[in-house]
């Protein structure tokens, strides 16, 4: 019995082995926790500080990356803005250069135009030259209303002068009975006779019982007038004895010339003077070789048409005509 008991007591116990193993594992886990987790307040504070330092370092890294990307973006934006500024400056410079060139071109064109236009001294000289040969015409129309125009001397002898004017001005006087027609220089008004006329060409010939007046000279047919040539319309009404308006020849045809000079009623029948001071055509507000009239461009018959329509011109010239 004693031997058997000793035998049982010498066998290892299963429960004891398992308990020992469990205790060993618990000890190991406790040892790991003791290494990782602090067991005091200072340890906990150190852990929190470590976490804070890690978070701060991460924040610094992230902020540095953000700042880097922001700087890159700003650099790109600044480059883009600088490029736009350069392009804008170049465009502004080109625009200024183009505007300056255009202004210079306009000034050049205006200078050329101003050279074509007669200045005050030239116009005053023309008025002084032409005033003795032009008259203001006044009469009445068919309805009894005033009708005015201009006449100019084409021939003169010791006793009388022949004046060319507009048929439109004296139309009512071509019928019997008709109103009296007067020509005037300054304050002197003289009655005249309507000798002949041509309604189609808007021409009429007046006989003035005053002689020894200077006759105007017809323009030479060569060189022929050209579009763009300067032209001067003359009226017998003016404080200096005459008045002048200037313009350009717009068109030239066998029937006459088209001009853009202002032809007011007092100018109709007056001479259209070229740059040489000679009569090219007779101003008209009704002459219509194309079948219509305008208020911006006026058609005028050549002065030589008078030789075929209202008077005889020895040698084909108005000077000395009878």
SS3 string of 191-226? EEEEEEEECCCCEEEEEECCCCCCCCCECCCCCCCC
- 59 pLDDT band, cuts 50/70/90, is confident
Tens digit of pLDDT for each residue in 302-312? 998 998 899 88
Is the distance from CB of 216 to CB of 278 less than 8 angstroms?
yes
Phi first, then psi: what are they for 279, rounded to 5°? -80, 120
Does the structure show a pLDDT above 80 at 51? no
Token code pair at residue 96: 């200024």
Is the distance from CB of 259 to CB of 253 less than 8 angstroms?
no
Alpha helices in the chain (DSSP H): 2-10, 14-36, 41-116, 120-130, 167-170, 305-309
Element (H, E) at 232: strand 230-235
Is the distance from CB of 147 to CB of 154 less than 8 angstroms?
no
Tens digit of pLDDT for each residue in 116-153? 566 788 888 888 999 999 999 999 999 999 999 999 99
Identify which has the larger pLDDT, 50 or 251: 251
- CA-CA distances (angstroms) from residue 25 to 60, 109, 169, 261? 42, 111, 140, 125
∠ CA 230-235-239, nearest 5°, is 115
Tens digit of pLDDT for each residue in 191-232? 999 999 999 999 999 999 999 999 999 988 888 899 999 999
The CATH number, out of the four listed (3.40.50.1970, 3.40.50.2020, 2.40.10.120, 3.20.20.140), of the domain defined by the range 122-316: 2.40.10.120
Identify which has the larger pLDDT, 277 or 172: 172
Looking at residue 91, its pLDDT comes to: 80
Is the distance from CB of 185 to CB of 161 less than 8 angstroms?
no
- 14 pLDDT band, cuts 50/70/90, is low
Looking at residue 146, its pLDDT comes to: 97
Looking at residue 2, its pLDDT comes to: 47
Question: Which residue in the block uniquely carries the two structure tokens 């116009």?
Answer: 123
């Amino acid at each position: 019995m004693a031997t058997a008991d000793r035998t049982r007591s010498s066998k290892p116990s299963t429960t004891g082995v398992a308990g020992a193993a469990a205790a060993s594992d618990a000890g190991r886990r406790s040892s790991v926790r003791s290494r990782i987790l602090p067991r005091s307040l200072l340890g906990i504070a150190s852990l929190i500080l470590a976490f804070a330092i890690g978070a701060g370092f991460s924040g610094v890294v992230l902020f540095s990356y953000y700042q880097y990307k922001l700087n890159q973006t700003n650099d790109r934006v600044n480059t883009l803005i600088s490029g736009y500024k350069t392009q804008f400056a170049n465009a502004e410079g080109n625009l200024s250069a183009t505007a300056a060139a255009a202004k210079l071109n306009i000034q050049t064109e205006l200078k050329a135009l101003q050279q074509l236009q007669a200045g005050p001294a030239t116009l005053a000289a023309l008025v002084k030259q032409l005033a003795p040969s032009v008259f203001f015409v006044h009469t009445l129309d068919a309805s009894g209303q005033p009708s005015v125009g201009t006449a100019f001397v084409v021939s003169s002898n010791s006793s009388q002068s022949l004046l060319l004017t507009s048929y439109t001005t004296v139309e009512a006087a071509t019928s019997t009975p008709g109103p009296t027609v007067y020509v005037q220089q300054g304050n002197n008004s003289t009655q005249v006779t309507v000798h002949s006329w041509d309604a189609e060409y808007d021409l009429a010939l007046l006989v003035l019982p005053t002689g020894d007046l200077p006759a105007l000279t017809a323009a030479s047919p060569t060189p022929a007038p050209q579009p763009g040539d300067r032209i001067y319309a003359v009226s017998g009404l003016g404080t200096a004895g005459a008045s002048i308006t200037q313009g350009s020849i717009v068109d030239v045809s066998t029937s006459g010339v088209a001009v853009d000079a202002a032809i007011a009623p007092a100018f109709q029948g007056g001479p259209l003077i070229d740059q040489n001071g000679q009569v090219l055509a007779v101003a008209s507000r009704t002459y219509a070789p194309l079948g219509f009239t305008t208020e911006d461009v006026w058609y005028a018959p050549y002065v030589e048409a008078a030789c075929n329509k209202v008077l005889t011109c020895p040698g084909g010239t108005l000077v000395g005509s009878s």
